[in-house]
Structure 1
Amino acid sequence: MNHKSHILIKRITLSLVAFLLLVIIFTVYANVKVERAAEGKIYTSVDSIPHNKVALLLGTNPLNKWGRPNSYFTNRIKTASELYHAGKVDYIIASGDNHTKDYDEPTAMRDSLMAHGVPEDRIILDFAGFRTLDSVVRAKEIFGCDSLTIISQADHNARALYLAEANGIEAVAVSAPLRAGRWVRTRLAIREWLARDKMMLDIWFGKQPHFLGERIEIPDLMPQKSYATAEGMTMRIVGPDPVKTPVDSLILEFTNNRDTELTTGEWYRIDIDSDGGWRLAPYSEKYMEYKTKGIEVCFNAIGYPVKPDGSFQLTVKPWIYDLSDTSSTYRLVKTFSYPPYPIQKSDTAYVEFQIR
């Protein structure tokens, strides 16, 4: 080997070592930044996570390479459905890859969420979530989300949280379980480190999603609306908060703003909004069975006083009604009376509400 060849090999070796050191330093930098951004924002239980209007469910293949159910997919679906049923989110964006007609992550997520009891009208499909960057940026630019609850496995969540912060989104995350052996976890960790490197470069160079498009508004759930046929009486639902299906009980609070005591009883009715008009909510199967057997369900003839400038709470169990339609608005109706007694005419209080 001549002198020139020796110098060339030495330079190439030094260059490779320098490049490798640069990659290691950059990888450490990227991971430190991501972990710090995610600190205190990743939850392992849906019970403690704060409420957000929208959850972003990050997609993955429903099947593994052997054609069997993918545990990453099934655990994310399970976590997302638990989050919804706990009342911690109102809507779920199912964001995933649909680059061919034969590969459709969002539809698979929707079908699985519905199988876990999440209503279809609370699931929003994003077919252009090709990468985590696409999913997060589109959540803001297309769906108008300034805050999010992200659902994936823990390491992936950390990267998604950094992307959210970089794009001005206030986000938290809940981690789906990761069931894997030591070798698989090591391989996934290395893959995630490299993915964070690429993410950091994408942010620095202003990488944008493959597709954007027109804005899609996600509607707010209607807040309770209370009104009555006589001034001075308000009724609202104070529990559970939020009201979610199945509805076991409702805690009503009556407030009397007059200087005269009012009286209310146990009777109530629940209506449903049907094409802009109110009609009686459908009866439950259990109640219809009672009617078929000739069993009458009656309210107790009890009067509850509500003192002047006071309040009173009453728990009702609306089992006689089928309140499973989470896309509709309901109205609970109760009568009340002010003196003089004996009562000549009852007034009516209403509270409109929706069910998650």
Structure 2
Amino acid sequence: MRTQVAIIGAGPSGLLLGHLLRQAGIDCVVLERQNGPYVLSRIRAGVLEQVTVQLMERLGLDARMKAEGLPHDGFNLADGERLIRIDIKALTGKEVMVYGQTELTRDLMEATGERGLEVVYEASDVALFDIESDAPYVTYTKDGVEHRVDARFIVGCDGFHGPSRKAIPESVGRSFERVYPFGWLGILADVPPCNHELIYANHERGFALASMRSETRSRYYVDVPLTEKIEDWSDERVWDELAVRLGPEAAANITRGPSLEKSIAPLRSFVFEPMRHGSLMLCGDSAHIVPPTGAKGLNLAASDVHYAAEALLAFFKSNDADAIAGYSEKALARVWKSERFSWTATKLMHRFPEDGPFERRMQQAELDYIASSEAAQRSIAENYVGLPV
């Protein structure tokens, strides 16, 4: 098979990029190791920045998102006693959209046939070759038969554990990483949310988050040490802990119910540089991971896709090689700003094992400052709603 762009990974970033390229008349194929139902089974982010919403609008795939998504013009920080509302609409003139990553991925998947985007599922043993040349290629196995895809560019949208980043020589790439000593224990339940906006809570017992996927489906989290086991956390124990950490106002409105899904996700901050080497470009989790505290993961992948599509269109439409050369620097500038915000939010809202009374007082002082300062709230709102691309 020969194509202009081979995309590895059919998560939201790979599908977004594929749709954008096909919309512009550029040939591409998407290779995915798993099957479609498995891709849709991943329970991930639910807060969409303007960049992600605008990409779906640009593709004309925003109808269900606009009908079922929940526009939010604010969110809350809690310190165990009070809710500090950050009015992002008043402070920035913008809003975010609560719409599950699973639903966004479903919209992209269901449109592939109609839009002429070829996706090969269950493509195993994917390997990249000759990425430093102008004629890279990818091999994969499907149904026991090996296939080869020749392309002008390869784009790795295959996540942290995929083969794309590993194809870049160690002498070229550099990794920056911070692994956190806790994970987020998440519970998904068909119950109405306890608040119409998200609540990020800092409590002496640890962090908690009240979120939602719809007006009837809620997503809650508490942070736990990485030594904890999910089988030790009954639904009732999770609900009890949430009621304490979220504070009395939120606790009074919690509706309890059986969990549809429950898991513990480890947290890390990770950035790989560069995000382009030769004819290979990286997007999303293949190049960077953020802790979910600032709701940046999917949105940062979407901004990568925006820059990658911009560069590829300039190359194929105008023979602009400089656009490809500048992709990594442009994408990384936004990546590091988002990493900073996620790191800062995580430090503010979580208790680290090495923290003592002084660090606890610093968190409380920072929350007091945020509560009383419009300038502090504006900075948080600008980052939360998404920096310009």
- For the aligned pair, the TM-score class normalised by the smaller chain equals under 0.3
Return the structure number with greater relative CO, CA threshold 8 A, min gap 6: 2
Larger Rg: 1
With structure 1 as the length reference, what TM-score do the two structures score? 0.20
With structure 2 as the length reference, what TM-score do the two structures score? 0.19
